[in-house]
Amino acid sequence: MNLDLQTLIRVNPKAETITIWDNTIVGSTYGWQPAAGGVPTANPKKSEVTLGSYIIAYPNNGLSFSGNFTAQQLANYLDPTQGVTLSAYTLFGVPYYNFPDGIPTITVTLHGATIAGVSSPWSAYIATRTAFIIFTQNIIRTWALQIPNTTNDLRSVFDPAMANLLLDGIYYNVAFGQYDEAQRVLDFLIELTTAGKNITDYLNEHNL
């Protein structure tokens, strides 16, 4: 079996929930076998998935949750037009009413007993690192909105521009597998915004 699972992940605007769904191709060497059969004959069909589980883990702070999909959740996960929505509070309880900013790993494992109707127990999993940075992003995007239309003050442009570049860099680093660098940048921005400071303050404090 050469099944290469892929998952899409979306966090809602308030980070109260996330939605995840299967993005594995159908056909070719590494996709699901088409519902009507055919290439790749060595791989199962989506309809042959019988069990599914997931793990959401934040490596930087130890926060994690593992669970099994219900039958309906599994059906929704496999349907690219639906997806399964998970709540931070349901998973982690108090005080996690929102998914905290971080770079968690979301692992989905699927199991089945047959391939094209023939007994052949199988399992496959996909582990995806993604950036949850809603709260830090909202603060920094607010800085950008405060830039005056005309200004002679370089700082009023420099601080939000640099912060936005760093923010975008988190997404780029995660996309290219540079997770440690992404976490360092996120930690820096969280420290900065929590302290109510900006980049110019940091540069001045460190004589940079």
What's the pLDDT at 170? 97
21, 84 Cβ separation under 8 angstroms: yes
Across the strands, what pairs with 122? 112
78, 49 Cβ separation under 8 angstroms: yes
d(CA 25, CA 48): 15
pLDDT confidence band for 48 (50 / 70 / 90): very high
Beta strand residue intervals within the chain, DSSP E = 7-11, 17-22, 49-57, 64-68, 84-87, 105-115, 118-129
d(CA 27, CA 38): 8
Q: What is the pTM of this model?
A: 0.90
User: When comparing pLDDT for 112 and 147, which is higher?
Assistant: 112
Question: Does 154 have pLDDT greater than 60?
Answer: yes
Among 107, 128, 108, 125, smallest CA distance to 174 is for 128
User: When comparing pLDDT for 204 and 92, which is higher?
Assistant: 92
Q: Which amino acid is at 140?
A: I
What's the pLDDT at 151? 65
Mean pLDDT score, 45-62: 96
Q: Residue ranges of the domains in the chain?
A: 7-129, 134-205
